[in-house]
Structure 1
Amino acid sequence: MSIKVSVICFKSKVLSNGNHPLMLRITENKKRVMKSLGISINPKYWDFGKEEPKPKCPDYELIQNIILKVKSEYQHLILEKLSKNEEFTASSLINEQKEEIKAKTVEEFYLSLIEELKQKGRIGNSYAYLNSYNTLRNFNHGKKLNYTFSHIDVTFCRKFEDWMRSKGNKDTTLSYQFRTLRAAFNKAIEAKIVAREKNPFIKYKLSHFNTKTIKRALSKKDIMKIINANCIGKSELRQLTHDLFSFSYLCGGISFVDIANLTPKNIVDGRLIYQRQKTHGNINLPLSDKAQKIIDKYIDYQKQAIYLFPILHGKKHITPMQKSNRVHKVCHQINQELKIFAKELNIKSEVTTYVARHSFATILKKSGVNIGIISEALGHQDIKTTQIYLSRFDNEQVDEAMKNLL
């Protein structure tokens, strides 16, 4: 069987912009079958003798990458079928790969993915991919990502890692960036943008990053300093900061975004019942008297704004984007105030809204509470996630244990 794979500039068809479409052409025993690649080119930038774009073509690198990707995938398919002695024709190859070849750059895929997530209201995820996209743009000297996913190989990953390290980024940041890039690559595989065997993360393992975080839990003594602090007469921001941190700690380490979305409907017969924004898991916890008193402070706000706490307002923050932006803004303000608050209380550790959640888990563990109960209160879907929250034993605990040796 004589079969040839090529890409041609189809002169017989002229588009409205004067360009000609680029076509995949498979020739089998002088019979030709063609399929559009979804891109076009001005004929003055095409070398019809060599069947490739001229070096001066504005989109030279992009078009070359797409051509190489399409040709290599079809040639690989042909070799695979020949090795298995499978029957095939030019037409059957085109039909079999009909959904397999999609001319889409990393730039186009990222932007469409970000927009899709926004439309679905998954704002947090859209920000993660936007951050990844912007980092890749910076790595690419500020230029658009006009290359295909097959360009992202092990060598690319190593260069990307070296570049981020040269910018002073630590392993935790590198791990976050590569996990997001890996997720984008997997989505591109699912969308038939790139072949599964091109995945660089089969060889480039993310386990080499050291992501062990510094202990973020406060001691029970420091936690009580915050909870028992008298904020009467202080600024509204200070009072809200004190209330939200205390409420988070007292209510199972509830996250800031979940606190922001609470409404009076989440209070049922003296219990806090809500669905986590992140995992959609259901939480059902008893409300302590202290937690109820914090809620009661904002009863006037609840009547006009729907929400329990003055973070979101039912008439001002309607869309997912508006809600997300507002939560991020207030969370930042609260964390800034917590730094000042902690310093005044002579707390040496860093204090953020997240610390209340981490401290809740760690203090319960030290009190002998079963990790499964802690995991359920936190709303974790896997007990391993809970274990990440829990710090290693303190030196004091280890020293005490060592006394039992003799």
Structure 2
Amino acid sequence: MSETVKVVCYKSKTLSDGKHPLMVRICKDGKKKYQSLGISILPSHWDFKKNEPNDSCPNRDEIRLLIQQRLFELQKTILSKKIEGKEFTASSLLSPSQSAKAHLHNNVGECFNYYVRFLKEQGRLRYAGMYEVSYNSFVKYAGSLDIPFSDVNVVWLKKYEIWMHKQGLAVNTIGTRIRHLRAVFNMAIEYHVIDKECYPFQSYKVSKVSQSPPKRSMTKVDIQKVLSYKGKTDIEILAISLFTFSYYCAGINFIDMAMLKHSNITGGKLCYLRAKTKKQIVIPLHPMAINVIARYSDATVGNNSFIFPILSHFHQTEVQKVNRLHKVLAKVNGTLKEIGERIGLPIKLTTYVARHSYATVLKRAGVSTAIISESLGHSSEKITQTYLDSFENSQIEDAMSHLD
């Protein structure tokens, strides 16, 4: 029996904001299997006949591209299985554990490299690169990771931690490396490659290999010093523009700013999909943010052109984009650091300081933590974004009035 693969607006589940989740639906042998696409949408923005976002949907092109990519991946997997004469079900197509169990063994290095490939296939090249750095660190310490998971016990981890300290690396860097290894362990257990008895992180607590992050927020007085700084070069002007835009646009991060196009602006609001979480974000455009956009409007033409002069049509592949983003971010943060020192700021200035400062200013103004939390780092970042998704735009607009 032939199979059908579609992405549908799942009306059987309604979220608190009135949206329905978009779900991949596979029908095969009389059985249906659903899997979330990680996006929710209002029914008024969905064409139920064509199974795609309609013309009134914010970020219509981005959502369609995400749908097309996911359907292409599944159709490619189905075709490969048919060519190889392999049986499959709707459930096995949506479960990565089946293919993993067929190719992975009780080998740390093998599983680590599989995880890196998985991140790359998902387009998360930056994170894949971070895991590769961690992998190389473990190989340098142990000589080889072609070892069974049972070899990596509490003693092994403590010795690695001591070795890293002797290299002069920061505590948080050590913690990041070990958390990457823990993620590989979790994957191996999830895919039934190893038993839970091999898990050393019940006794070895990664949380102790960390320290409080440096202060990343500023007072309104210091923020205004940055916003009023007059850049003397193109890179200084860009750096201040990005900081300003982030501060006035709910702490949007550098990657998302770089990916913004003029089509992301509709009805006086900024609508985009977060690169990290694939969550749809809709926020009102503050007048100061509009001024920043206008500053670069002459250099960018067309609804599909980027708002900021960071990416262009020359950057076609994901590798090209990642390399370009990494290079520009380093220049921007280096420039912001110099500006911060020049105007006497008490902390190191980066684009991420705008994100933290946005949250802190609203918090100190008495804005409910249900709308925006005091910190936007790590775990709280996802929580804060979830809150932003779930509240009415009028509440967000009222909250953002405190930014001036």
Category of TM-score, reference length = shorter chain? 0.5 to 0.7
Q: CA deviation at 1:375?
A: 4.5
Q: Residues 118 and 321 of structure 1 are in contact (CA less than 8 Å); yes or no, is this contact kept in structure 2?
A: no
- Gap change, CA 1:148 and 1:270, over 3 Å in 2: same
RMSD: 2.5
Counterpart among 321, 336, 339 of residue 338 in structure 1: 336
Counterpart among 236, 240, 243 of residue 242 in structure 1: 240
Separation (CA, whole Å) in 2 of partners of 1:296 and 1:384: 27
Q: Residues 363 and 374 of structure 2 are in contact (CA less than 8 Å); yes or no, is this contact kept in structure 1?
A: no
Residues 289-300 of structure 1 aligned to structure 2 (within 5 Å): 289-300=287-298
- Gap change, CA 1:159 and 1:296, over 3 Å in 2: same
Q: CA deviation at 1:382?
A: 2.1
Q: CA deviation at 1:145?
A: 1.8
Residues 293-312 of structure 1 aligned to structure 2 (within 5 Å): 293-303=291-301, 306-312=305-311
- The one-letter amino acid of 1:158's match is K
Separation (CA, whole Å) in 2 of partners of 1:155 and 1:174: 16
- The one-letter amino acid of 1:336's match is G
1:230 maps onto 2:230 in alignment? yes
Separation (CA, whole Å) in 2 of partners of 1:361 and 1:311: 26
Residue aligned with 1:188, SS: helix
Q: CA deviation at 1:292?
A: 0.7
1:382 maps onto 2:383 in alignment? yes
Separation (CA, whole Å) in 2 of partners of 1:186 and 1:100: 17
Unaligned runs of 5+ in 1: 1-98, 387-406
Residues 139-218 of structure 1 aligned to structure 2 (within 5 Å): 139-140=141-142, 143-218=143-218
Q: CA deviation at 1:376?
A: 12
- Gap change, CA 1:137 and 1:368, over 3 Å in 2: same
Match of 1:69 in 2: none
- The one-letter amino acid of 1:364's match is L
Separation (CA, whole Å) in 1 of partners of 2:227 and 2:275: 26
Counterpart among 122, 130, 133 of residue 132 in structure 2: 130
Q: CA deviation at 1:120?
A: 2.4
Q: Residues 149 and 193 of structure 1 are in contact (CA less than 8 Å); yes or no, is this contact kept in structure 2?
A: no
When normalised by structure 1's length, the TM-score is 0.65
- Gap change, CA 1:370 and 1:102, over 3 Å in 2: closer
Of residues 304-313 and 179-188 in structure 1, the stretch that sits farther from structure 2 once superposed is: 304-313
Match of 1:39 in 2: none
Separation (CA, whole Å) in 2 of partners of 1:307 and 1:366: 34
Q: Residues 101 and 193 of structure 1 are in contact (CA less than 8 Å); yes or no, is this contact kept in structure 2?
A: no
Separation (CA, whole Å) in 1 of partners of 2:272 and 2:104: 42
Q: CA deviation at 1:100?
A: 9.3
Q: CA deviation at 1:385?
A: 9.9
- The one-letter amino acid of 1:307's match is F
Deviation per residue, 1:331-353 (Å, 9 max, x gap): 00001101111122122311011
Separation (CA, whole Å) in 2 of partners of 1:126 and 1:139: 20
Separation (CA, whole Å) in 2 of partners of 1:384 and 1:175: 25
Match of 1:119 in 2: 121
- The one-letter amino acid of 2:309's match is P
Larger-Rg structure:
1
- The one-letter amino acid of 2:170's match is K
Residue aligned with 1:325, SS: helix
Match of 1:357 in 2: 355
Deviation per residue, 1:193-239 (Å, 9 max, x gap): 322211111221223234322221112111101111223xx211111
Separation (CA, whole Å) in 1 of partners of 2:268 and 2:249: 12
- The one-letter amino acid of 2:296's match is Y
By relative contact order (CA 8 Å, sep 6+), the higher-ranking structure is 2
Unaligned runs of 5+ in 2: 1-100, 388-404
- The one-letter amino acid of 1:363's match is V
Separation (CA, whole Å) in 1 of partners of 2:210 and 2:135: 23
Separation (CA, whole Å) in 1 of partners of 2:384 and 2:343: 34
Deviation per residue, 1:334-393 (Å, 9 max, x gap): 01101111122122311011111011111111111111222599794425999xxxxxxx
Residues 253-292 of structure 1 aligned to structure 2 (within 5 Å): 253-292=251-290
Separation (CA, whole Å) in 1 of partners of 2:202 and 2:103: 22
Separation (CA, whole Å) in 2 of partners of 1:301 and 1:384: 31
Q: Residues 108 and 147 of structure 2 are in contact (CA less than 8 Å); yes or no, is this contact kept in structure 1?
A: yes
Q: CA deviation at 1:111?
A: 2.2
Separation (CA, whole Å) in 1 of partners of 2:381 and 2:347: 25
Separation (CA, whole Å) in 1 of partners of 2:222 and 2:348: 11
Separation (CA, whole Å) in 2 of partners of 1:273 and 1:118: 26
Residue aligned with 2:251, SS: coil
Separation (CA, whole Å) in 2 of partners of 1:317 and 1:291: 26
Q: Residues 251 and 358 of structure 2 are in contact (CA less than 8 Å); yes or no, is this contact kept in structure 1?
A: yes
Deviation per residue, 1:116-169 (Å, 9 max, x gap): 3212211122122112101101212xx332212221111111111111122223
Deviation per residue, 1:282-320 (Å, 9 max, x gap): 22211122211111121233227711101111x212222
- Gap change, CA 1:366 and 1:194, over 3 Å in 2: same
Separation (CA, whole Å) in 1 of partners of 2:122 and 2:146: 26
Q: Residues 101 and 192 of structure 1 are in contact (CA less than 8 Å); yes or no, is this contact kept in structure 2?
A: no
Match of 2:319 in 1: 321
